[in-house]
């Protein structure tokens, strides 16, 4: 398709027989991949000016549906029709620009900003106002300020993105989408990395967008957010639309039952753990940022961990939780003071290879960036850190590698036709299981799990929780870092709370409450 192909050519003249109140309609949309039907006769309407929630388990078809709408999957690669503002969308190959020009914008979970550029430069990247062949910087920043003011986005136009918090970055991404005059804004897991205050700020922004007539599609695994912000919710399961209902007619229990196809009587599986002797001791640990030697990220962390225990680590964003995990794994901070003992003996872990040798494994916070090689198959991802186990006479024993990897894939119920499936085609829950599988293959004594259920649906979360209970029952000591206080309280034996790089206190689960945890996390206690 030529570059001169206009958006009007990408939108067919066929008009849908719909009410003016309907801005978007999917009609009998089916999308197939080799061996998998991702969408099955999906029919769905979105009303103009509403905030429409779409939920479902990982693999339900949410992302596929949005990729069709945003031009990632072109017309002809799927069956059925998609109508926007009464006209059928027929986007061709590489049609993301056509979707934007049509008035459809998407904000992904992984932000797409350039950290070294300013807010204004990011918003108008590729469409800078020109004057006599040069960028008119005064106009660029004036237009940025006008856009930010219109939608009540409190961000300095000339601030460098790398100096912003995650919440401000999210606002910048939304402003970038709105700068294209988007009339339909898709938000995919917009709060997965936000603190509670930033989430409330985002909710206010969405209400402002609604006042300005912008229609929003809101996708999240945090089900409580649907009840706070959406007008209606559509549930997908196994590629089919199960129901679309006004949010006020739903309950959390009903929503979950629609998603998983069964009643879920409990969020957390029952565990009868009996922690053993202390296996890991951390005493007054101090560490500095490896890229900014003057910045101390850990300022005195003390705790211990027992065999067969799940120790929850809570704290606000920026409290040092992830920095602690990465430092214990040898991949972040430069330790300047303090001791770490494993099974009673001091250890000095300088990199991840040494951590694995000592018996420490880490399921990282960002599985796509730090946990997986997405363009490699499941088999290679599981075996990658463990190739020493299969090395014989300077060669890899392929049969042994396959047998061991298959066993872990079966134990963790990874849903895929075979182990040659590429990881970038898996759902979030199955990707997380692959990450856990590869670290379990290393036979860890201590397993650190940083936000292990981030971006995972309610059914897959339950499976991860059951797995954690099984591992603890086998004597593996687990450190679980989580931003979800209900998860911390539901899965931990004890809770260590961090505040500004320090351990603020440790609570036995019998005495721990959300109020006590927040008091420690904010420095009040």
What six digits make up the tokens of 325? Answer: 């995990």
Q: What pLDDT does residue 264 have? A: 58
Q: What pLDDT does residue 9 have? A: 46
Beta-carbon contacts of residue 439 (< 8 Å; ≥ 6 apart): 361, 362, 363, 385, 447
What mean pLDDT comes out for the span 232-241? 93
Q: What pLDDT does residue 94 have? A: 63
Give the confidence band of 1 by pLDDT, cuts at 50, 70, 90.
Answer: very low
Is pLDDT at 11 greater than 60 in this prediction?
no
Q: Say which residue, 373 or 392, is predicted with more confidence.
A: 373
Give the confidence band of 262 by pLDDT, cuts at 50, 70, 90.
Answer: low
Cβ atoms of 313 and 321 within 8 Å: the answer is yes
Is pLDDT at 16 greater than 70 in this prediction?
no
Three-state SS sequence of 1-45? CCCCCCHHHHEEEEECCCCCCEEEEEEEEEEEECCEEEEEEEEEE
What mean pLDDT comes out for the span 367-371? 82
Give the confidence band of 337 by pLDDT, cuts at 50, 70, 90.
Answer: very high
Residue with tokens 């997986």: 372
- Range with the poorest average pLDDT among 38-52, 200-214, 236-250: 200-214
What mean pLDDT comes out for the span 507-521? 90
Residues in the chain: 525
Model pLDDT for residues 452-477, shown as the tens digit of each residue:
887 777 777 888 898 899 899 999 99
Is pLDDT at 4 greater than 80 in this prediction?
no
Give the confidence band of 8 by pLDDT, cuts at 50, 70, 90.
Answer: very low
Q: What pLDDT does residue 180 have? A: 81
Model pLDDT for residues 396-453, shown as the tens digit of each residue:
888 999 999 998 888 888 888 899 999 988 877 788 889 988 888 888 999 999 988 8
Model pLDDT for residues 439-456, shown as the tens digit of each residue:
888 889 999 999 888 777
Q: What pLDDT does residue 120 have? A: 95
What mean pLDDT comes out for the span 138-161? 91
Alpha carbon distance 392, 396 (integer Å): 6
User: In what order do the strands lie in the sheet containing 240-246?
Assistant: 104-107, 184-188, 215-219, 51-55, 232-237, 240-246
Model pLDDT for residues 170-180, shown as the tens digit of each residue:
889 888 888 88
Alpha carbon distance 317, 421 (integer Å): 35
Range ranked top by mean pLDDT from 200-214, 252-266, 316-330, 336-350: 336-350
**pTM score:** 0.64
Model pLDDT for residues 60-93, shown as the tens digit of each residue:
888 899 989 988 888 889 999 999 999 999 988 6
Q: What pLDDT does residue 261 have? A: 76
Which is it for strands 502-508 and 11-15: parallel, antiparallel or unpaired?
unpaired
Is pLDDT at 138 greater than 90 in this prediction?
yes
Is pLDDT at 203 greater than 50 in this prediction?
yes
Give the confidence band of 503 by pLDDT, cuts at 50, 70, 90.
Answer: very high
Q: What pLDDT does residue 19 have? A: 62
Q: What pLDDT does residue 443 have? A: 87
Q: How far is CA 4 from the centre of its chain?
A: 36
Q: What are phi and psi of 334, to 5 degrees?
A: -90, 110
3-class DSSP state of 341: strand
Q: Say which residue, 195 or 119, is predicted with more confidence.
A: 119
3-class DSSP state of 106: strand
Q: What pLDDT does residue 491 have? A: 94
User: In what order do the strands lie in the sheet containing 278-289?
Assistant: 292-306, 278-289, 334-342, 345-346
Is pLDDT at 206 greater than 50 in this prediction?
yes
Alpha carbon distance 178, 316 (integer Å): 30
What mean pLDDT comes out for the span 120-136? 92
Q: Which domains does the chain have, with CATH numbers?
A: 266-359+444-525 (3.40.50.300), 367-443 (no CATH)
Is pLDDT at 364 greater than 70 in this prediction?
yes
Cβ atoms of 25 and 45 within 8 Å: the answer is yes
Please state, rounded to an integer, the average pLDDT across all residues of the chain: 87
């Amino acid at each position: 398709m030529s570059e001169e192909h206009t958006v009007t050519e990408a939108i067919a003249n066929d008009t849908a027989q719909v009410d003016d109140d309907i801005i978007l309609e999917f009609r009998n949309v089916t999308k197939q991949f080799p061996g998998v039907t991702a969408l099955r006769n999906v029919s769905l309407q979105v009303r103009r000016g509403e905030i429409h929630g779409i939920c479902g388990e990982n693999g339900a078809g949410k992302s596929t549906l949005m990729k069709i709408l945003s031009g990632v999957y072109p017309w002809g690669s799927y069956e059925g029709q998609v109508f926007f503002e009464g006209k059928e969308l027929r986007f061709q190959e590489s049609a993301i620009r056509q979707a934007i020009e049509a008035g459809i914008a998407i904000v992904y979970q992984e932000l797409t900003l350039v950290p070294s550029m300013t807010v204004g430069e990011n918003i108008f990247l590729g469409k800078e106002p020109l004057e006599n062949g040069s960028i008119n910087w005064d106009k660029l920043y004036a237009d940025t300020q006008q856009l930010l003011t219109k939608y009540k986005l409190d961000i300095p136009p000339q601030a460098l993105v790398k100096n912003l918090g995650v919440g401000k970055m999210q606002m910048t991404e939304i402003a970038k989408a709105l700068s294209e005059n988007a009339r339909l804004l898709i938000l995919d897991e917009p709060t997965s990395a936000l603190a509670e205050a930033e989430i409330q700020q985002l909710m206010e922004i969405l209400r402002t967008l609604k006042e300005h007539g912008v229609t929003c599609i809101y996708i999240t695994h945090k089900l409580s957010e649907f009840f706070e912000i959406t007008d209606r919710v559509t549930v997908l399961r196994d590629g089919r639309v199960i129901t679309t209902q006004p949010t006020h007619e739903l309950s959390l229990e009903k929503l979950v039952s629609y998603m998983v196809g069964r009643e879920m009587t409990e969020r957390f599986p029952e565990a009868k753990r009996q922690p053993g002797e202390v296996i890991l001791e951390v005493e007054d640990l101090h560490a500095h940022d490896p890229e900014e030697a003057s910045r101390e990220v850990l300022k005195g962390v003390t705790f211990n961990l027992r065999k067969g225990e799940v120790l929850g680590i809570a704290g606000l964003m920026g409290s040092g939780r992830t920095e602690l995990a990465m430092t214990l794994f040898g991949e972040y901070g430069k330790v300047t003071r303090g001791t770490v003992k494993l099974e009673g003996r001091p250890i000095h872990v300088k990199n991840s290879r040494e951590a694995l040798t000592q018996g420490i494994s880490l399921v990282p916070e960002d599985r796509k960036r730090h946990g997986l090689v997405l363009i490699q198959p499941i088999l290679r991802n599981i075996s990658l850190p463990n190739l020493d186990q299969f090395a014989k006479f300077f060669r890899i024993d392929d049969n042994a590698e396959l047998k061991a990897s298959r066993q872990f894939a079966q134990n963790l119920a990874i849903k895929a036709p075979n182990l040659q499936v590429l990881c970038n085609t898996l759902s979030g829950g199955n990707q997380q299981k692959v990450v856990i599988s590869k670290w379990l293959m290393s036979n860890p004594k201590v397993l650190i799990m940083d936000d292990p259920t981030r971006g995972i649906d309610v059914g897959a979360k339950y499976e991860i929780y059951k797995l954690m209970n099984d591992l603890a029952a086998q004597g593996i000591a687990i450190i679980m870092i989580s931003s979800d206080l209900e998860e911390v309280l539901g899965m931990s034996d004890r809770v260590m709370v961090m505040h500004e790089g320090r351990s603020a206190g440790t609570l036995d689960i019998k005495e721990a409450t959300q109020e006590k945890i927040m008091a420690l996390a904010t420095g009040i206690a």
